[in-house]
């Protein structure tokens, strides 16, 4: 059996992000959100406190590639076999 994780990059997320994340978070074993926002808002805070997501703060916008790399590094550290990469606008 194999494991699948998702890595979603956030940038100044709005409420639609929660719908998008929930469209695929139950299809994977681990859901990582990497926040690339300069300023954190209430959506960032809700995800940070949600036990269904692993929240990684990039401490500002480091670019989508750096954010994806950080999320994939986390998934690799947990021996996840496959990664679904998404951005906050993606709906599954």
Q: Kindly report the average pLDDT of the chain as a whole number.
A: 96
CATH 3.40.50 matches 4-87:
yes
Decide if pLDDT at 92 tops 90. no
- Helix H or strand E encompassing 71: helix 64-77
Closest CA to 86 of 12, 5, 14, 29: 5
pLDDT at residue number 42? 95
pTM, full prediction: 0.94
Model confidence band, residue 17 (pLDDT cutoffs 50, 70, 90) = very high
Q: Return the domain boundaries, the chain.
A: 4-87
Query: What average pLDDT does this structure show over 72-84?
Result: 98
């Amino acid at each position: 059996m194999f494991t699948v994780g998702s890595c979603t990059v956030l940038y100044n997320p709005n409420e639609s992000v929660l719908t998008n994340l929930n469209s695929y978070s139950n299809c994977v074993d681990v859901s990582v959100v990497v926040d690339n926002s300069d300023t954190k808002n209430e959506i960032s805070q809700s995800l940070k406190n949600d036990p269904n997501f692993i929240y990684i703060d990039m401490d500002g916008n480091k670019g989508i590639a750096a954010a994806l790399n950080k999320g994939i590094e986390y998934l690799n550290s947990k021996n996840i076999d496959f990664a679904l990469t998404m951005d906050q606008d993606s709906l599954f």
